[in-house]
Copies of this chain bind each other. A is one copy, B any other.
Amino acid sequence: MSSKKNDTKQAIFDIDKENDFPDWYTEICRVAELADVRYGVKGFTPFPPWSFMSMNLMFEILEEVLQRKDHLPMYFPTVIPETNLTKEAKHVEGFTPQVFWIETTGSGEKLEERLALRPTSEAAIYPMYSLWVRSWRDLPLKRYQRCSVFRSEIKSTRPFLRGREFLWIESHNVYATHDAVKAQIKEDLETTKEVCTDNFGLPVMVFRRTQWDKFPGGLNTYAADTLMPDGKVIQLPSTHDLGDNFAKAFDITYLNKDNETVHAWQTCYGPAISRIYGAMISVHGDNKGLRLPFKVAPYQVVIVPIFKGKDVDAVLKYCVDIKETLKKAGIRVHLDDSDETPGWKYNYWEMKGVPIRVEAGPRDIKQNNVVLFRRDTMKRDIISLKELKKKVTDLGKEIDENLLNMAEAKFDGLVVDAERYGEIDDALDHGKIARVPFCSIEMDGYPCAEEIEKNTRGDIRGTRIDIDEKSEGLCVACGKVAKEVVYIARSY
């Protein structure tokens, strides 16, 4: 798995994540071989097997949920003709600054029309939906694609968290009514919780974004944020109520039961798996490196044989048998029979974040035991070989629950009320999120938002939709009666 195993210095990783998160992140990406920043094109990083295998498992989990909810997979071209990209005015305005353009091929032959690398695929997919959707019988149409998208970010880039090519799933759905769209939004937010929280261990707060921070061209954007170790929040999947705006721009109509041609209603939903991966390793990692959830670890169990003198063959056989037993039980297991010392291997696989380690040496063989080590708590236990399969399965679940619990604990007392700019910055400086009375998240609140973002170090994340809360008091910026309670945080 590693091309650097023979470099013993790399086996020990020890950076204080809480106090030194940016360094921790850069360093773990390098030593755990998650992303290689030496590719030579800003914002484009190769993903070696250790990160990509986890992302593949994350995609599988997400796709299982989407398919269970009647979405079918499809695949659209990577390039979008410029004419299509410009059909929805706000959409083109929002995305054009970030587009990579293809104008020539070969030795300089000009294309008839410029092609954009997809920054998102509405403009690729909806012209086809306009042809595919004809009658109410065709609705709902629930489709998704797994692909990479391209955005020429101006901000500085970081592997997984902010790249110019990232890996995602985008789901694009067409409905007969706006009510059906709203039900889809609800379904998407449940999918986000099931996937990100229940499977990847990431607790979230769910927001309706402000009108000036929504998806370009849509009616409303709803998004889940999680908390990074540096106190900043990061957006996980977002889902968009497109209303009938895109249907009008791309001419998506259907014949209803009364035989009238009417515009359809749409949603789109975009979980960026590479970004969620970046958040996941950040939230769960510790000073010794990664701590991968059992569900998405490329290797769920690593076996380290403790060779002593003439027992080498017996120990190896014992370990190979353990490997076969676990493999048959559907567990992703790796036997590290390399030349390194056990101590080196412990450090190495702890740094790589493998959830469970099995150690076995001559003494264990005699007693038909193994040592079971769990990465999350760094605790060891001796168990009998007979119970190994069950113990590993149970421990896997326990580790994932524990990782989620630890992440959730960071949400305790996270939100503090603030009614003045100073209180907001004070909260942010202590790694908190400020809960602030605000006049309006419709466009009329925009001047107040500009004031706030000028006078504090935070961004307005929107209003919570996962909890009920009443607005009280006066807008922190204009002093008018606050219609909303917004959350202000530093963000990625």
Contact = CB atoms under 8 A, between A and B. Distances in A.
Interface string A198-210: 0000000000000
Chain A: interface residue count, which band? 35 or more
What number of copies of this chain does the assembly contain? 2
Contact of A6 (B41, B46, B135): B135
A297 to B, nearest CB: 14
A158 to B, nearest CB: 15
Contacts of A39: 77, 124, 127-128
B40 A84 contact: yes
A467 interface: no
Contact of A137 (B5, B44, B100): B5
A156 interface: no
Contacts of A100: 79, 102, 104-105, 115
A98 B106 CA distance: 5
A266 to B, nearest CB: 15
Contacts of A96: 106-107
Interface string A108-140: 010001010100000011011001111101100
Contacts of A99: 105-106
Given A52-B73, A73-B49, A73-B52, A79 B165 contact: yes
A38 B81 CA distance: 12
19 contacts: A1-B72, A6-B135, A39-B127, A40-B83, A41-B79, A44-B77, A45-B77, A47-B75, A48-B132, A52-B73, A55-B75, A56-B73, A78-B148, A79-B100, A79-B165, A98-B106, A100-B115, A101-B102, A109-B152
